[in-house]
């Protein structure tokens, strides 16, 4: 007997891993606003879509040009 995989078949896509994170309500509101701003007519973005877009943008940004705040330096 052959087993059938559940879910959507992946054709040529990179394997994915599910993660779970906790975020403050203020950050979640910003994420929802980002998704709403980048939605297309007839195509809503999910929170997962928004997170993937933000991560891809952050990782593709040139080094030293990130919008991320610099980390605090110890010993100063």
What would the pLDDT profile of 51-75 be if each residue is shown by its tens digit? 999 999 999 988 765 555 555 555 5
d(CA 20, CA 35): 18
d(CA 11, CA 47): 23
Question: pLDDT tens digit string along 3-50?
Answer: 555 666 667 778 889 999 999 999 999 999 999 999 999 999 999 999
CA torsion angle for 15, 19, 25, 30 (degrees, to 10)? -20
User: Residue 16 in 3-state DSSP?
Assistant: coil
**Which has the higher per-residue pLDDT, 46 or 2?**
46
For the whole model, what pTM was predicted?
A: 0.64
Encoded tokens for 50: 């928004």
């Amino acid at each position: 007997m052959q087993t059938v995989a559940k879910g959507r078949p992946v054709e040529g896509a990179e394997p994915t891993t599910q993660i779970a994170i906790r975020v403050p309500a203020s950050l979640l509101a910003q994420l929802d606003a980002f998704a709403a701003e980048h939605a297309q007519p007839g195509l809503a973005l999910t929170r997962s879509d928004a997170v993937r877009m933000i991560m891809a943008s952050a990782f593709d940004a040139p080094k030293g040009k990130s919008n991320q705040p610099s980390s605090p330096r110890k010993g100063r």
